[in-house]
Amino acid sequence: MKIMKSFFKQKETLVGIAAAIAFQLIFVTVWLTAYDGVYDRTNQFSVGIVSNDDELGKEIIKKLEEKNVFQLKMFKELNLALEALDKRNVNMFIHLPDKIIEKLTKNGNITVYYYINQATPTLTKQMMEKAANKMNDALNDQFRETINTQMAKRIPQLVTEKVPDEKMKVMIKDIAVQIIDLVQKSMKMDPVEANIVKTNNKEGFAITMVPLLIVLASYISAMLISQYLQLANGRLINEYGRFSLFVGRQMINVLLALGISLLSIFLMNLFHIELNHNFFVLWGFQSILFFSFLVLSQVFVMLFGIPGMIFNIALTAIQIASSGAMVPRELLPTFYYEIGNLLPATYGVNSYFSLIYGGGDLGSDLKHLSMIILVLLTIAIVIQIVFSMRGKFKSSEM
């Protein structure tokens, strides 16, 4: 009992227990609030449409707008829609061919193309493929209804045109209507064929988990480094100046970002994760991402010391939930979507989809990460100034 009491008298023991409890509370609270009602927000997905048919295409678009299932974006040209899909500005786009009615009359069927970008979270790909099949069924129902209506109107007229006897004409017309009715009930016409085109496609489930894995592993590593560097900083504060320690710490952060990023790349190569960019692009990006995590996690331990780890635990949960690694960002509540725009994990996940599958806008992600790093370093410098002034003020009082 005496040993136990001695342990509980230590601040580190109490902080460790608090961190464990906080971990449970934070992760459960964040993930359940972030992912609650995900399927109720599917209308936040963007679907592009390229229609080459001025007649029936307008009717199809009108019906899709009335259903309000997705946010529709119109494109005049196929290459513009492909570019938007590649940059992940739309989740899917539909290409309606020209002269639909004419082709249905001549060939009996048409093909509608559904383009789905595979450089997105698994849930997005699954939902878009399911939506494409549902849309195609709806198009078939629409065309089937049109064709059946035309059959019911035209065939009886054509059959009775050359019958001179009025009584016989009525009898034949009734028989024709009955036959058409039987044919329509037994016939399963699917004149619209769905062709789902998967852009930026790569095989294997493991590769889909890489963005989540790298971001999670990187932030937890950065969080632990920041925690122990802060402990070392506390022991050295009497030997060196506050700003000298801060500069030295950032130099260590840079070296660790470069070194640990090499380990990440080595592990990806070891497990045959193929990337669409060369070694130096990948190394440079991973180093910047890791450094952004280091400067983010150090802010809270600089402010609060060891208890700052609780804030970093919260940020771990929030970043994973809001980054789009597990659930598409379009399906998140507004709070998590907006906070995700301010955190580096979002741009890390986005960039890894680009690095692995292709597409996206790596330059834009790097620009956002650089801005986040600059802001966080500025905050860290302000913290050092404030603590330095507070230290001088206390010294003058004594």
Q: Flag whether 67 is in a domain.
A: yes
Q: Flag whether 196 is in a domain.
A: no
Cα 163–chain centre separation: 65
Q: Which amino acid is located at 97 in the chain?
A: P
Q: Flag whether 199 is in a domain.
A: no
Could you tell me if 294 and 168 lie in one domain? no
Distance CA 249, CA 377 (A): 12
Q: Which of 188, 213, 240 is the last residue of a domain?
A: 188
Task: Say which residue, 155 or 100, is predicted with more confidence.
Answer: 100
How many other CB atoms sit within 10 Å of the CB of residue 69? 16
Q: Flag whether 101 is in a domain.
A: yes
Distance CA 320, CA 313 (A): 11
Whether residue 140 contacts residue 189, with contact meaning beta carbons closer than 8 Å, is answered with yes
Residue 237: partners with Cβ closer than 8 Å, 6 or more residues away: 245
Give the number of domains in the chain.
2
Looking at residue 328, the DSSP 8-state letter turns out to be: -
Could you tell me if 330 and 271 lie in one domain? yes
Q: Flag whether 193 is in a domain.
A: no
- What is the pLDDT, as a whole number, of residue 241? 85
- What is the pLDDT, as a whole number, of residue 348? 95
Could you tell me if 165 and 65 lie in one domain? yes
Confidence of residue 303 (pLDDT cuts 50, 70, 90): very high
Whether residue 375 contacts residue 292, with contact meaning beta carbons closer than 8 Å, is answered with no
Tokens 């699954």 sit on residue: 126
DSSP-H helix ranges across the chain: 2-9, 11-34, 56-67, 78-86, 100-107, 122-160, 166-186, 210-236, 242-270, 279-304, 308-322, 334-340, 344-357, 362-397
Whether residue 314 contacts residue 340, with contact meaning beta carbons closer than 8 Å, is answered with no
Per-residue pLDDT tens digits for 186-203: 445 667 788 999 988 887
Q: What angle do CA 323, 326, 330 make, to 5 degrees?
A: 60
Q: Flag whether 54 is in a domain.
A: yes
Whether residue 169 contacts residue 233, with contact meaning beta carbons closer than 8 Å, is answered with no
Structure tokens at 15: 């902080």
Could you tell me if 91 and 49 lie in one domain? yes
Could you tell me if 113 and 167 lie in one domain? yes
Q: What is the CATH number of the domain that holds 130?
A: 3.40.1710.10
The region of weakest confidence among 8-12, 239-243, 289-293, 343-347 is 8-12
Q: Which of 139, 164, 188 is the last residue of a domain?
A: 188
The region of weakest confidence among 145-149, 219-223, 244-248, 317-321 is 145-149
Could you tell me if 222 and 315 lie in one domain? yes
- What is the pLDDT, as a whole number, of residue 315? 93
- pLDDT tops 70 at residue 242: yes
Could you tell me if 30 and 51 lie in one domain? no
Tokens 């209804």 sit on residue: 145
Domain range spanning residue 257? 1-36+204-397
Distance CA 81, CA 83 (A): 5
Distance CA 234, CA 189 (A): 76
Per-residue pLDDT tens digits for 18-56: 877 887 888 888 888 888 888 888 888 999 999 887 777
Could you tell me if 245 and 346 lie in one domain? yes
Task: Say which residue, 157 or 106, is predicted with more confidence.
Answer: 106
Could you tell me if 175 and 224 lie in one domain? no
Name the β-bridge partners of 84: none
Q: Which of 188, 223, 251 is the last residue of a domain?
A: 188
Q: Flag whether 177 is in a domain.
A: yes
Q: Flag whether 169 is in a domain.
A: yes
Per-residue pLDDT tens digits for 218-232: 999 999 999 989 988
Whether residue 189 contacts residue 349, with contact meaning beta carbons closer than 8 Å, is answered with no
Could you tell me if 32 and 49 lie in one domain? no
Distance CA 367, CA 215 (A): 18
Whether residue 207 contacts residue 356, with contact meaning beta carbons closer than 8 Å, is answered with yes
User: Mean pLDDT for the chain?
Assistant: 83
Distance CA 16, CA 336 (A): 28
Could you tell me if 174 and 100 lie in one domain? yes
Could you tell me if 12 and 113 lie in one domain? no
Q: What angle do CA 272, 257, 213 make, to 5 degrees?
A: 40
Per-residue pLDDT tens digits for 46-80: 999 998 877 777 777 887 888 878 888 999 889 99
